[in-house]
Chains A and B, each alone.
Chain A
Amino acid sequence: MASSYTEDPELAHRLRQMREQVRSQVGPRASRAGLPPYPSDAGLSEPAPLEQRLEELKPLAAVQEQPFRSRFPLLGPLIAWFRERWNRVSTKWYVLPILQQQVRFNLALVEALQELYRFTRQTSEDLLRRMDALFVPLDQEQAALQARVQDLRETLARQIQEQSQAQARVLAALEERLQRLSQEQALDRRGLAFLRQRLDGLMARLTPQGTLPPEERPAVAAERETLSDHDYFRFEAIYRPEEEVRAEQEAYLPFFAGRRNVLDLGCGKGEFLELLRDHGIPAYGVDWNVQMVQLCQEKGLRVVREDALHHLAGLPDRSLGGLFAAHLVEHLAPQDLTRLVALAQAKLEPGACLIFETPNPLCLWALVNYFYLDLSHVKPLHPQALAFLLEMHGFREIEVRYLHPVPEGVRLARLPEAGGTEWERIAALLNVNLDRLNDLLYGYADYAIIARR
C-alpha cells in the first residue's frame, strides 16, 4: 500500500518562492497594451497605411484631360493645334461623357472604400477596447484573488506553525515534567525501600514492650543519622546531575593516568569512578550513604560503605595510586580535615596525586547560593588555607584551579566607556570598581586543589 499524501509545506514554500522570484525578475504587467498581440489583434493597432493609400488615391480618381503636345521644334505647335481641332470634332463629344462617368465612379469608389475603412477601424478599435475592458479587470481581479489566496495561505501556514510550536512547547513541558516525576518516583521508591529496611532494623531492636534498652541507644542514634543522610541522595540527584558531574571531572583524568588503586573518597553516584573505569585506570570508591553505594554497585563499580577516615586509616601505607575527593572536605570538621590530609600523606605512594574539589569561598555568590544550600556543609575552606595544610603535611607541586565561572548574565554589567572625555574617565573608574566587585561577588563557584606526594 502506497503511503498517503501529506502536504510538504517546505517544498510548497520553495516552489512559491521560485514563482515569486521569476515574477519579480519579469516585473508586473501594466495592461493588455503591453502584451504581444493576440492573433486577432495583429495589424489592428498598427499605423494605418491603408488610410494613407486611400488618401493618395483620391486625387488620382479625378481623371484629367491632357493637352496635345508635339516634340518637333518648329512644326510642333501647329501639329498640336491640328490634333486638338480634330479631337474636338471627331472624338471629344463621345469620350468626354465616358470620362466624366469614370471620374464619378472613381470618386464614389474611393469614398466608399474610405468609409468602409473607417467603419472597420472604428469597429476594430471598439472591439479592442471592449476586449481590454474585459481582460484588464479580469487580470486585476485574478491578481487580487491570487494575492488574497496567497495571503490566506500564509496566514494559515503561520497559524498552523504557531499552533504546532505551542503544541510542541506544551508537549516538551509535559515530557520534562513527566521525566522529573518519574525520577522523583524512582527516588521515592528507592528511599521508601531504604526506610522500610531501616524501620525493620529499628523494630527488631525494640523490645516487645516498646522500650529501648540502654545498650541499643547508640545503634538507634546511628540509624537515625543514616535516615537523615537519605535526603542527601535526593539533594544530589536534583542539584548535581550525573552527566554534568562526569563532564566536569574529565579534566582530572590526566593526573591519574597510568596509576593503580586510585581511591575516590565520598564517591557519591560514582561518576568519577566510571570515568576512571572507562579509561582503564583501576580504582574503587568509599561512601557512607547506603543509596549511593547501592547505586554504584548496580553500575558495577567497586564501592564500599565505610567512614572515609576509618577506611583510610585501615589501608597499608603507600598503597594508593591516587586520592580523589570531590565536595567532601567541606563536610568535615577542621580536626577531621587535618587527619584526612595526614592519612592521605601516609597512604599515597610517592609521586601520586591528591585532588580535593570544594566550593570557593572567594566567590560570595557561590557561598550564598551553593555552600549554604547544603545543610551538611560544615565550613567553607579558603584555598590558601587548604594549600597551607597540604604543604604542612609534605605535599608538593600544589596547584589551585578555579572552576565553574559564574554565568556572565549574573555579573554586574560594565559601563560603556565611549563618549566625552569626562564621562570616559568616570566610566573607566566605575568599571575598575565593578570588576573588583564582580571578582569578589561573582568569581568562580568552585576550586580544585591538586598536590603531589
Chain B
Amino acid sequence: MRIAFFGPLRPVPSGISDYCEELLPYLAQEAEIALFVDGYEPTNLLIRRQFPIHDYREFPQQHQAHPFDLCLYHMGNHICHAYIYETLQRYPGVVVLHDTVLHHFLGEYLPREGGLAAFLTAFPDEEGRSLLRRRRAGLWSHLDHFLYPGIGPVVRASRGIIVHSETARQAVLRAVPTARVAVIPHHLGPQRSPYAHLPQEEVKRRLGYRPEHWLIISPGIVTPSRRIETLLRVFADLLREVPQARCAIVGPDHPAVRVADRVHEAHLDGLVRVTGFVDVPTFQSYLLAADVVVNLRYPLAGETSGGLIRALGAGKPVIVSNVGQYAEFPDDVCLKADVGHAEEAMVSFFLHALARDPALGRRIAEQARRYIGDFHSLEGSARAYLEFCREVLSSPVPTPAEPPLGPEGDVRAVIGHIREEAARRAQEGAPWQAAGTGAIQPS
C-alpha cells in the first residue's frame, strides 16, 4: 500500500506533529509512505532518514508519475493545516480528524482564501446565516466557535474519517450522517524523559522542587478552554490545607489567557510555575514528577489530549472534565469533574481527597496505567489505521458531490447564491431585518 501522508511535523508547534512522528515508523512497517509538507524541512532526523519528504505542491506530479493508493490527512483546528485542507478538497482520502471543531481554523483560513462565500460553504443552511448575522452585528464570543463546528466540508470531502473517541464519532455523524468513521484511540507515545529511570523524588529535585512538595501539573496549551482560572482558585484554596502543594502549568501560553498575569493576579507567584512551551522529554519529566495531573477542558473542540494520554500512561492520578470524550474513560481510571457550576467544588474536593489519601491516588493511577497500556498502544493504533485504510481502499470511490471539490468551485457556486440573496433582500428592506427570512437554495 502506497500512502501519501499529509500531516504536520516538527518544527510545526502542534501536538499533532508529535503524534504523526510517533505513528509513522509503525505505519511504515506495512506501508510505503511519502510525506508532504508545506515548505519546511522537518527537524526530526529519524523521520528525515526514513521517509521521502516533498513539498505538497509537488503532489500532483508525484501522483501522476507514480500513483498513490491513498492519501492520509491529519486535520486539526489550527491554521498550519491549511495546505492539508486544500489538498483534501482535490484528492479525497482518509482524514484523521484530531478536532471535531474546525471553526477556529476556518475563521482564520476562509477569509484569507475565499471570503464570505467560502465561509457560507463551510457553514451551510440556517447555521451559516445565523452565524453571518451575528458576525455582522459584531456579537460574538469564543463559545460560538463550538456551536458552529464547521467540519462538514472536511467530512464530505473524505473517503473515511478516523477519530479518537466515540464522542468525536458522534460529532462527525451529526455533521454528515453517511460518513464512514472509525474510532482509533489516541496512542501513548514512547517515554523520552531522561529521568525515566529515576525515582519521583529525584525527578522533582532535578526540576527544582523539593521531594516533599505535592506537585500538581496542568499539561498542554493554555487556551481559554483549559479552565486555568478554576485551577488557580482551587490551588489557592488547597494551600491552606496542603501548604507544601506546588503547581506547574506546562505548555505554551495563549494570548487570550496570559497565564503569567493570571498567576500574578492570584498572588501565586513562586507557588505556580509557568513553563511555556517545553519539548516532549521535558514535558514527560514534569509528568514523572507530578503527584496529580489536572487536565480540565471545556468547552471541547472534540480533541483528545495527547498530554492526557501521556499522564494516564505515566501512572498518575488525573482529574479531567466529565464531558465528551473525557467522560468515556471508565470511572476507575481517572477522576471526572463535572463542568459548569459544580466544577470548582468538585476539582477542589478531588484534590483534597488525593492529598489526604495517597493510596487512593496510587490505586487510580495503577488502573490508568493498565488501561492505557491495553487500549492506547502504538502498535494497536497503527494496526487499526492500516486495517481501516485497507477497508476504505476495498470500497468503491464515491462520486464527488455537488458543488465540485476545491475552494474555487465552492466560491463560484456560492457567489451566485449571494447575489440572488442580496437582490432579494434589497427588495425586502434592511439586510439584518431580512436576514432571518430568506433561504439560500443550492443551485
Contact = CB atoms under 8 A, between A and B. Distances in A.
Contact of B332 (A7, A26, A127, A134): A7
Contact of B370 (A4, A40, A123, A139): A4
A16 B331 contact: yes
Contact of B367 (A8, A16, A23): A8
A11 B335 CA distance: 11
A123 B374 contact: no
Nearest to B137: A123
Nearest to A142: B323
B331 A15 contact: yes
Contacts, number: 86
Contacts of A120: 137
Contacts of B349: 18, 21-22
Interface stretch (B65-73, B139-147, B173-181, B399-407): B139-147
B159 interface: no
B147 A134 contact: yes
Contact of B330 (A12, A123, A127): A12
Interface in B186-208: none
B371 A19 contact: no
A39 interface: yes
Interface in A4-43: 4-9, 11-16, 18-19, 21-23, 25-26, 29, 34-35, 38-41
A3 interface: yes
A2 interface: yes
Contacts of B353: 18
Nearest to B344: A26
Given A15-B364, A26-B342, A7 B137 contact: no
Contacts of B134: 127
Contacts of A261: none
B373 A40 contact: no
A29 B373 contact: no
Contacts of B346: 19, 22-23, 26
A106 interface: no
Nearest to B334: A15
A124 interface: yes
Contacts of A127: 134, 139
B338 interface: yes
Interface in B204-246: none
B98 interface: no
B142 A26 contact: no
Contact of A26 (B341, B363, B370): B341
Nearest to A35: B341
B415 interface: no
B322 interface: yes
Interface in B255-312: none
Q: Does more than half of chain A's interface fall in helix, strand or loop, or is it mixed?
A: helix
A158 to B, nearest CB: 15
B357 to A, nearest CB: 10
A243 to B, nearest CB: 38
B375 interface: yes
B254 to A, nearest CB: 14
Nearest to A30: B341
Nearest to B143: A38
Interface string A358-399: 000000000000000000000000000000000000000000
B91 interface: no
B297 to A, nearest CB: 16
A214 B21 CA distance: 104
A4 B373 contact: yes
A265 to B, nearest CB: 59
Interface string A121-160: 0011001000100100001000000000000010000000
Given A3-B370, A21-B349, A39-B141, A12 B342 contact: no
A40 B341 contact: no
B345 interface: yes
B429 interface: no
Interface string A410-441: 00000000000000000000000000000000
B340 interface: yes
Contact of B342 (A23, A34, A134): A23
A40 B364 contact: no
A35 B340 contact: yes
A26 B350 CA distance: 14
Given A8-B332, A22-B342, A22-B349, A40 B143 contact: yes
Contacts of A16: 331
B369 interface: yes
B336 interface: yes
14 contacts: A2-B369, A4-B374, A5-B367, A7-B332, A13-B331, A15-B364, A19-B322, A22-B342, A22-B345, A29-B341, A35-B340, A123-B139, A127-B134, A127-B139
Interface of B: 134, 137, 139-144, 147, 322, 330-332, 335-338, 340-342, 345-346, 349-350, 353, 360, 363-364, 367, 369-371, 373-375
- Which 9 A-B residue pairings sit nearest by Cβ, starting from the closest? A40-B141, A12-B331, A5-B370, A12-B332, A11-B332, A26-B342, A5-B371, A8-B332, A22-B346
